[in-house]
Amino acid sequence: MQHLTRKVRPGAGRPTREQAEQRHEELLDRALEQFLEKGFELATMEAIAASVGMTKRTVYARYEDKRALFKAAVQRAVDGWTVPVSALKAAESDDLEASLVAFARIRMANAISPVGLRLQRIINTESYRFPEIFTHAHDQGSRPTLEYLADFLRRRMKAGDVCVDDPETAATAFLSMVVGGPIRGIVLGGPVDAAALEARIKFCVKLFLNGVRPR
């Protein structure tokens, strides 16, 4: 009697943990796009599920409602937007001006990245409804950079390179000068002019140093 061997279709069966996680990340990315394009009120769980080829039931099995999915999508964006402190440390050198220029470039590149721009746009449109997303983005995304810059200025004060009364305020002012202004225009749809951004960084660094160097 001839035995029949059942053929298994490639890709059949339960997805691996890695595949499942990739699908989950895709869901969160598509959800953020839907929330950004349509706003929280008009975006639907059905449309989000369909955009990633999932059933609504599958999405609800992981997120109890649209608010939970929205917060998870924003959290993923914040995670991808955060500048690692290790990147700032690697950019630091004995040259005060060169270090500040390097810090500004890192922060600027981060802010104008696709993830950075999407996150800032969603915060601008939905933070009135979810004030916690602004707080979270600041605490997780901006605060580590500000703390590192403040510590950098303290160390430079001890070396006699700068003189500031409040390193935390000085760090905030520095980032506002080099990044804050142009980013507002870019978030609203303005063009990204790399040469102009580089020129602004160098100008603002010199202006900042003129204000904090000992006299």
Ranges under pLDDT 50 in the chain: 1-12
Task: Please list the helix, strand and coil fractions of the chain in percent, rounded to the nearest 5, in that order.
Answer: 75, 0, 25
Q: What is the pLDDT of residue 200?
A: 92
Range of the domain at 151: 82-212
For residue 62, what are its two tokens? 């992981």
Q: What is the pLDDT of residue 45?
A: 94
CB-CB contact of 83 with 106 (8 Å): yes
* Long-range contacts from 56-62, C-beta under 8 angstroms, 24+ separation: 59/27, 62/24
pLDDT one-digit tens code per residue, 149-186: 999 999 999 999 999 999 999 999 999 999 887 787 78
Report the CATH number that the domain containing residue 177 is assigned in CATH: 1.10.357.10
Tell whether 117 and 190 lie within a shared domain.
yes
Tell whether 146 and 92 lie within a shared domain.
yes
Q: What is the pLDDT of residue 13?
A: 56
pTM of the predicted structure, to 2 decimals: 0.80
Q: What is the pLDDT of residue 174?
A: 95
CA distances to 124, 156, 200 from 184, rounded to whole Å, are 10, 30, 14
CB-CB contact of 161 with 98 (8 Å): no
